[in-house]
Amino acid sequence: EERPLSPSTPCRCVRPARSGRGWRFQWRSEQVLAAAALWSVRRCRRGAPTATRVANAAKDVQVAEELLVACRDGKSNTALQLLREKPERVREALLRPAAQRQLTPLQWACSRNLYEVVEHLTQHFMGDVRPSIDYCLFNVSRRGYTSIAELLIQRFPAEAESSAGRDVVEAARSGQAGIVRLLSERFPSAVRGVASEALYEACGAASAQTANQLLRDFPEEARASMDPNAADQTPLLRACQTGLVGVVRRLLEQFPEAKGALEVKDSAGMTPLAWACDNGHDAIVEMVLRRFPNLAEVAPIELEGEEELEQSPEMMQPKNRENMAKSGYRLVGSHSAVKQCRWTRNAILGQGQCYKHTFYGINSHQCMEATPSVACANKCTFCWRNHENPVATSWDFKMDDPDWIVQESIRNHLELVEEVSESPHALPDRVLAARSVRHVALSLVGEPVLYPKVAEFVSSLHKRRISTFFVTNGQFPDQLAELPWVTQLYVSLDAPDATTLRDVGRPLFRDYWDRLRRSLAVLREKHPKQRTVCRMTVLKGVAENDEACQGYADLINISQCDFVEIKAATYSPVWDKRNSGLSRDSIPRHDDVLQLARLLVSKLPMYGIAAEHEHSFCILLGRRDRFYEPFGARWRTWIDFDKFADAAEKGETLDTTDFAAETPPWALHQGTSNRYDGKIGFDPQEVRRFRRPMPRLTRREKKKLWPKHKMMVDVAVLTPQEGLDEAAQAQELLKQPHVRSVTLFEPVGTGHDEERVGVRYVAGDPDLNITYKEAGLAFNVDLKRRLSRLSKSQGGIHERERICQLVQPGERVLVKNEFALENIKANKLDGKVSSLCRNSLDVAGLGRFDRICAFLKFQALENLEALVSAMREGGTLHFYNHESKACPEAELWKSLGVAKLDAPKRSAKVAAQFLRAVAMKDWKNQVLAMLAIVEPPEVPTHGDPEALAERALAQQLGVVIHTVYLGWPQGYPRSLAALSEATGGRQFAAFYQPESRGSPSTRPQPRVPRVRNTHGVGLDSGFIRVVER
């Protein structure tokens, strides 16, 4: 474009033809320029975009996308830089309608509480962002961003006044007292019309501050709310349900009509006093009965002023004490306990610290795990505390002094520390530091908030400069609301909905779900002074359930907590004793937990994945607007414990961000790199301890274990087909895909002197023929030993990969043997392959299958039904049976209506019975082939009447019977010949490893070579793997 063109300069123009080739024309520059000018005029007339317009539009879209992403990710500095440097280019993003699915930058900025960005947008782009104001006002009212709400009201008063009624109700429903106060002051007339509804929602959200604000500003509307609404409910009833003692007292004192509201029943037939009594709000019941003694709707209760019993019972019975002492608990007094965590021992030995060290920076060797109350209100199925502690819903027990409990707990804990310090692996500096307790995790067992003097207990810990991590299951919201300032407050989320919580958590309260939601609302009320955490204990399969993830997201939204801990349930052997239906298969792996975390982040955009601890299968989600610094991409999830201790000693309280510290890089989320090494979130100063050492493999062995290219198969043929040359057979097999080599075996000699000589043909080099004896095919014993260790140490991950690679691409195979009978009974077809079971292939299930190889003894009908139901339509069932002298399947046939068999001589009879069962169950559409392995018969079967009847029945059902004789080398030629004949001359590759413990037969059996399969892994004894080619 910059080079000048003279009239004599030719210009070459290439125009593509329809044929795809094209031809060339020689034009002079004047003609080119004239044509270009005419083309430009035509484009301008019809409004077609030029190249410059297209480029500028692309740049505008790019800048607009950058602004949108910056606001979405909470990057205030980046967004401000774009707005100031490129104001005209960002209008593309600002003019996007609010009704579209993707939010505008202003809406994202309001959601992320980016005050400066909102201020800049509303000041310089007021006309462009006006359509988004309605959504922004609603969003900030629900989230409680008072400063942004005040700014929007100042810049857009008309829009704010029109939506004030809706926004104040939403703020009251979310418990945002600041928003309610702001809207009531600015738009009293608009709020007055919905004041009664807002008061009702505030009482339902257990927000006493919001309810008192509305009662003070709108007394007449509150008086009118004493009349029942459409659901026969009043604010007084909701306050009695949620336990708002102050609100109930104010309603009774301020409005005489409240006495009549106490007698109003809702749609469930319950009065406000009945709800308070049923939910355990004794303070409300006491106050109402003292004010109105003539109300006698509930049974008499013990008031605070009445005399206590002469002697209260102890919480722990002798049986509880004995069981807990056996489990390693150090009991303190009558209701407290302490126990040493395994991470405390590991930290003293320098072998790692727990996930709290990764997430928050505690020193595990200075941490004590204790509880002031061993009684719990739940009986969770996944609890690994053995359920040896008592249960309780209220405190009716003998009470110990809180300061004495702290002293005794520390003393018992230090005794346990001294026991660990005697280990030769203990680090001296860690031992010295461990003798000074700096952290206490009140999560040992039971409910610490149930202890009536828990405030004094926490204060005694803080006086000793000990930080407190306080964990509760959310069943005591009233006590939780009165809890003083602690270092970090937890509420456990054990289930996403009420039904699942009832089945999994097994709570004792009838209103367990309402109590949990009120506890989460208490977490929201304690912000911003209290660090709050929602702790999720998940089982396998949650990440695949979108409804469950949405339920968790809704609960987290109620709490507006600072952090969310997502942790896999910890396996305990007591699961098997309880018959809870849980096993090791119920525990999700770290990738499953990470998948759930990412799904929750997509539903909760204000959170981000901050840190992870792969060893514990735990992920930490943090609030981006509170603990994430966009500039530098730094998380501040750690705690400055010294600053917290100084404030606690002075009796002061700090905001959560005031004592937050930066999270080190090694603790942050690492994406998907270096997965399965167990070191993600592991402090590099610690030494990871493995129970089994990792095997050291050579480069050659690694190539066999982890092939980078397509899978290749070694085919072993025991006897060549008659009438064909060996080389021709080998070359024919080598033409098949994924076949790397072919080995043909032939017996040499007879009787005991018989040997097998193999000829191997390698793909790509047909002239390379290697003749060797059995010694050349011997399995590498050292490699086998290393593979065995690898499968045990890493859960058979690589073994499963090799098993899956043995089949053809796109084919799904289920291999079963007698060791996997329990897995079939449980019908655990979860889409994965289980690990090796000693020297046998134990595959639990692969979903829906093309081919099933079953090698087991069917003892129940459901086992056979499980196999057949797991098959795809048109699949193949290979049924292996090697029992010839007994018939364990007799009960099965009897249950199918087949006469009992009397010790058949040939298990081909069993095969015939199986065919009849197939006919009776109408399984012939699924079962297309059956493979029965039996011992050699004493007489030929070609003329056997039973065999003929068996084949006739098979032909009638459309089922092909492949009879394979196993146990003698003479059977192999017959087996392959039968398979080839039955399938129309198709080739088969058989992989066989003989019984290492000797044949059960009394006659001597010649040695059969072990054939190396795909990656040098021996298949289980007595098992034939048949791959149709």
Is the link from the previous residue into 684 a cis peptide, with omega within 30 of 0?
Answer: no
User: Is residue 910 over pLDDT 70?
Assistant: no
140-188 tens-digit pLDDT: 887 788 899 999 998 898 888 888 888 888 788 778 888 988 998 889 8
d(CA 661, CA 636) in angstroms, rounded, equals 5
Which of 70-74, 279-283, 390-394 reaches the highest mean pLDDT?
390-394
Residue with tokens 């068996």: 950
pLDDT value at position 556?
Answer: 94
CATH architecture of 226-301: Alpha Horseshoe (1.25)
528-576 tens-digit pLDDT: 899 999 999 998 877 678 888 999 999 999 999 999 999 998 877 666 5
Mean pLDDT score, 492-509: 89
526 or 320, greater pLDDT:
526
All residues at 6 or more sequence positions from 197 whose CB lies less than 8 Å from its CB, including other chains: 169
| Domains 226-301 and 329-667 equal at CATH topology level | no
pLDDT value at position 813?
Answer: 36
228 or 546, greater pLDDT:
546
CATH homologous superfamily for the domain 329-667:
Aldolase class I (3.20.20.70)
Strand partners, 693: none
606 or 748, greater pLDDT:
606
**What pLDDT band is residue 805 in, cutting at 50, 70 and 90?**
very low
Mean pLDDT score, 465-489: 93
DSSP conformation class of 469: E
635-680 tens-digit pLDDT: 999 999 999 999 998 889 999 989 999 999 889 887 654 444 567 8
Q: In terms of Cα–Cα distance, which of 769, 741, 743 is closest to 756?
A: 743
pLDDT value at position 1022?
Answer: 29
pLDDT value at position 992?
Answer: 33
Tokens standing for residue 274? 């009945």
**What pLDDT band is residue 837 in, cutting at 50, 70 and 90?**
very low
User: Is residue 35 over pLDDT 90?
Assistant: no
Reported as type and span, the H/E element at residue 139 is helix 133-143
**What pLDDT band is residue 765 in, cutting at 50, 70 and 90?**
very low
d(CA 695, CA 736) in angstroms, rounded, equals 35
| Under 8 Å between Cβ of 357 and 683 | yes
pLDDT value at position 139?
Answer: 76
Type of residue numbered 395: W
Q: Concatenated DSSP letters for 601-660?
A: HHH-TTEEEEEEEGGGTEEEEEEHHHHEETTTTEE--EE-HHHHHHHHHHT----TTTTE
Exposed/middle/buried for residue 48 (C-beta within 10 Å: 0-12, 13-18, 19+): exposed
| Under 8 Å between Cβ of 118 and 148 | yes
Of 421-425, 694-698, 993-997, the one with minimum mean pLDDT is 993-997
**How many percent of the chain have pLDDT more than 90?**
17
Which of 102-111, 170-179, 740-749 reaches the highest mean pLDDT?
170-179
pLDDT value at position 640?
Answer: 94
Which pairs with CB-CB distance under 8 Å and at least 24 residues apart come from 284-287? Answer: 284/240, 284/243, 284/245, 284/248, 287/245, 287/248, 287/249, 287/252
Q: Domain limits of the chain?
A: 10-48, 226-301, 329-667, 697-807+966-1029
pLDDT value at position 397?
Answer: 86
Count the Cβ atoms, other than its own, within 10 Å of residue 734: 17
1002 or 368, greater pLDDT:
368
434 or 990, greater pLDDT:
434
SS3 15: strand
Please state whether the predicted TM-score (pTM) of the whole model is above 0.85. Answer: no
Cα 746 from chain centre: 54
Q: What is the mean pLDDT of the chain?
A: 67
Angle at 132 between CA 98 and CA 191, to 5 degrees: 120
